[in-house]
Chain A
Amino acid sequence: MWGSRKLISSGSRFLGVRRSGCRVAQADCPRSTASAGLEIGKSKILCLVRAHFRVRRWNFVAVPSHGRRVYSENQLSWTLPIKPWIFSEYRIMWFKSCKMTFVCFNRMKSYRYPWTRLYSTSGTTVDSSEVKTFLALAHRWWDEQGVYAPLHSMNDLRVPFIRDNLLKTVANHQPGKPLSGMKILDVGCGGGLLTEPLGRLGASVIGIDPVAENIETAQRHKSFDPVLDKRIEYRACALEEIVEETAETFDAVIASEVVEHVTDLETFIQCCWQVLKPGASLFITTINKTQLSYALGIVFAEQIAGIVPKGTHTWEKFVSPEMLESILESNGLSVQTVAGMFYNPFSRYWHWSENTSLNYAAHAVKSGAQEHQVPAESVLKEETEELQATASTIAGVREEVKK
């Protein structure tokens, strides 16, 4: 769904341009799920066309006219049935540039569910080769000194990052359970390494992972702790499968060390957008796509030092912060923070760093419902003013007539 265009007609000249642009793009359409990431990486072209809205700043998403658009195989294209008199309920933003085509569109809540129905749920973001890699290590999650030691150690950075950014959104919190009352989704939770700390902090967490063995390990591990047992729920599924039932229910979605394993980042981010409440946060930690990350992250970490099991990462699927930022922005998530992280393999501790060329963490916020009200009000105000103006002139005319 997100791959398809929503065409807004309000002027035929735009329509002409857009339609032709669309056809060209579809002709170019590449597409195997695995190579999508490759193309994104290679050409740094952003997928376009979403419903999204922002009041304070214009959201520019550039698609060079010569560029290629990337669509998932299973996406359907359709046009939203727009009736002219509903226009006022929609906030529309136009981006124009001689060479680029911009479309931005906001959808109202009432139209969200029809879209989800049309959305394909056949595991578009899960890569089966990745599944195989993680299957082999499914029982090793909770050995703190074992294969996953760096991930255990990363909790020292990512849990405070998540906790502090979520606490900013609440006025006061319960000491001892700072995140109580929050619903969090941990996508790609693995063995529950990040899910459990968040559960201990009081949040109710749902952890999902496509590898069923991981979920089993996670279930078993949390079953010993009665408090966590109640607060955490695990499901073996992909994100797309739960988008329908959990639309707009989460205060935070966390995709830690996940986006470098998905097949279609665009789809993934769109699903995240869907399940987030307005004003909710999305947290992503991943690896940058640079020469340094190849040298250190793949050659050194996997092949030489064995810090990360071989075959865990493929460099082509790494995502740079700029790419991630643009995908997030084009999908209605405003990026608040991007911070670099650095792992010292000797001390086995992670550190925050200015440099994002290896690992980095990003925090984005879904634009809230309140922000959408203002332009609507301004549009309505203009209309009411017009009506009042006409009413007053009519009244004036009547008085004159009476006189």
Chain B
Amino acid sequence: MMPIWTKSGEKHAVTLLKVQDCHVLRYVSKEESGGKTAKLLVGGKNLSPFSKPESAHEIFKEAGVPRKQKVTTFNVTDDAIIKPGTPLYAAHFRPGQFVDVTAKTIGKGFQGVVKRWGFKGQPASHGQTKTHRRPGAISTNKAGKVYRGKKMPGKMGNIYRTSFGLKVWRINTKHDIIYVNGSVPGHTNCLVKVRDSKLPTYKDCNKNPPFPTFFADGDEELPEDLFDEEIFQFTDPSVTFA
């Protein structure tokens, strides 16, 4: 995470996400998948092919791509279908867009009710016998049972969670890095899924994105760094309020 300053001098915290060896693996049509839209299977981050059996490599061999650590699905409309085997780059996103980022949260193991659900517990003194971080009462007398979904101790973390509506501030095309506003679930160097935001406020925010994706062998020559309009770039002199 890094600080970023706007032209008016405000500071925002920014997370760096690297697009590492992402390839489209397979196209699943609407009828095949049984959903409302077609799906594209995308894999990221190369791994050694020797730790898995040959049967697991079929999908990668079809696309002509080394074995990937993670395979995710994206629901895509029919005009955004991409041929399996095309690499995906960070330039697929542009500064000023809004994104949703999904990842597995940091696993905390088996945790008690105070940390997991934010219960207040009991006082430290004034006669409490061996009861400081316990849940207390779990149901009423009239119910006669404990309701399903009652908040109790258990395994915390290591589940998929999404941060919605994060602004993309900057894109580095040389190293394939996306600078995304705010924090993102997951530990450092974990695998993360980035999608266009589904929030209704940002529905019209993506003006002329590279559609269906940014192709590296095309004619477009992008500069090394793409900045949002409001970012203070370090090549400019210091900010003054006139």
Pairing of A with B: no
